[in-house]
Structures are given as C-alpha cells and as structure tokens.
Amino acid sequence: MKTSTIKISGMTCSGCVQTVTQALESVKNVIKANVSLENETATIEIKNNIRIEDLQKSLPEKYKIKEEIKVQSLRNSKTATYLTELYPLFLILFYITISSVIMSWNKTLDDFMMDFMGLFFIVFSFFKFLDYKNFPRSFSMYDPIAKNIPLYGWIYPFIETFLGIMFLFRIQIFLSLVSTIIFLGVTTIGVVKVLTNKEEIQCACLGTAIKLPMTIATLIENGIMIIMAIITIAQLNA
C-alpha cells in the first residue's frame, strides 16, 4: 500500500472538499482520500500505482491537479509524521502541567486545575497572537461560531487571555468555568465533525505560526479542559 500527495486547485469551501474526496475515492485502487482545503492538497492511499490522468478524469472540471508531490510507502509513516508535528503541543502541555504543579504545591486539587486552565489559556492565546492576522481564517475552518460570525475569530484570542487572567487571579471563577465549558464545547463540536469527516486541516489551537494537524489530540486537549471545569464547578457547589 502507498500514499500519494497531489496539489489540487479550484477548491474554495468545505463543500469542495467533500466533492473532491468522493470523486477521488471513486477511482479504482484508491482506498482513502484526505483532502486539505487550506493546503490545496489531497493525500490518497492506493493499492497500486494510479495515473494522474485517471484521478483528473474523476474530478469535476473546475478542479485541476497541478502536480504530484510525493509517493511513499504507507506503513507507519503517517503515525510518525503526526507524532513529529504534534511534538510542540505535547511539549507545551508538559510545561503547563509542571508549572501548575509547582504553583499549586501544598494546595488543593482545585488550585491545580485552575492554575492549569489559567496557564493553558494564556499560553495558547500567546501563540494565536503570533500570527494574529491568519488565525481567524484557520479557526473558521472548524469552529461553528467562527464559520458563521467572522468577528468571533478575531476576538477569540482575547477571550482566552481574559479567561487565563481570571483563573490565575481567581476572578469570577464560576463565570470563568462556565465560559470555558461553553467556548471549548462549541469548538469541540467542530473538531468532532472534522475528525468524523476525515478532513485534513490545520488545528488553530496554537495559532498558525506552529503548523499542527487536526487529530484526536485536539479532542483530548479540549476534553481535559472541559472535564476540569466540570469537576471544579462540582467542588464549588459541594
């Protein structure tokens, strides 16, 4: 089994991604196609070699295959690539965890979780501001609110910054916890949809300065924050 990555022009929306994916997967010997609107690429898993001409014939006229980028044996290459690309995320989460442990030493579990959530929002908003002008577009690729209200993508990094400050300085904790559940809950819905549709897009959790693929890691990352917020609310009401 092999993978082949090709450049495709003419895609403008998520509907185009679905159309191209279905067309490519209809070609004989194509097992699976992962199409990226942002990168204008399609990575296809194939049983045997396939001519570019056959792939082009399967596509509607508006979509043009520009070039074939690479062909490689599948095996564990995809897993290795994902692990390499996700390394910055794992490293950042590790440092946030260690810092939270130090800050909440000899304190309660609630303090650890609030410090973790505070540092999480501050650090992640920082990376979003590194390439602020490109963040809203990348975020709108999967966040349901940002897709329909572009302004939301522009103010979201500020929301994260304010939430981080509120957690670290213990300001309006209940409001901060509820806001965390709502904002990350909505984003998680979009992440689940992307993963279910097997779309290959960039995760905007660390902005666009660091290129991260959208994977199950994004879902777990959001899930941890939401679970922490729910546990903390339960503790406050106990």
pLDDT given for residue 39 in this prediction: 84
Does residue 72 contact residue 46 with C-beta atoms inside 8 Å?
no
111, 69: one domain: no
Does residue 235 contact residue 113 with C-beta atoms inside 8 Å?
no
pLDDT given for residue 69 in this prediction: 53
Phi/psi-derived region of residue 214, left when phi > 0, alpha when psi is between -120 and 50, beta in every other case: beta
Boundary residue ending a domain (75, 109, 133): 75
Rg over alpha carbons for the chain, rounded to the nearest Å, is 20
pLDDT given for residue 168 in this prediction: 97
68, 84: one domain: no
Q: 119: domain range?
A: 78-237
pLDDT given for residue 202 in this prediction: 83
65, 113: one domain: no
Of the listed ranges 3-17, 89-103, 104-118, the least confidently predicted one is 3-17
pLDDT tens-digit map of 43-72: 888 877 778 888 889 999 999 988 665 555
pLDDT given for residue 54 in this prediction: 85
58, 138: one domain: no
206, 136: one domain: yes
193, 99: one domain: yes
Q: Averaged over 105-109, what is the pLDDT?
A: 94
Q: Averaged over 70-75, what is the pLDDT?
A: 50
pLDDT given for residue 15 in this prediction: 87
Phi, psi (degrees; rounded to nearest 5) at 46: -130, 150
**Where residue 56 sits, what CATH number does that domain have?**
3.30.70.100
Is pTM beyond 0.75? Reply is: no
DSSP-derived letter for residue 129 is H
pLDDT given for residue 171 in this prediction: 97
CA distance 87 to 9: 30
Boundary residue ending a domain (75, 104, 139): 75
pLDDT given for residue 74 in this prediction: 43
Boundary residue ending a domain (75, 90, 115): 75
23, 117: one domain: no
Q: Averaged over 131-144, what is the pLDDT?
A: 93
Does residue 93 contact residue 223 with C-beta atoms inside 8 Å?
no
Kindly state the percentage of the chain with pLDDT values over 70. Answer: 93
112, 195: one domain: yes
Helix (H) or strand (E) holding 4: strand 2-9
State both tokens at 214. Answer: 């959208």
119, 149: one domain: yes
18, 109: one domain: no
192, 124: one domain: yes
204, 105: one domain: yes
Taking 90 as the threshold, does the pLDDT of residue 4 lie above it? no
DSSP-derived letter for residue 204 is -
Q: Averaged over 159-176, what is the pLDDT?
A: 97
Domain count, the chain: 2
User: Mean pLDDT over all residues of the chain?
Assistant: 89
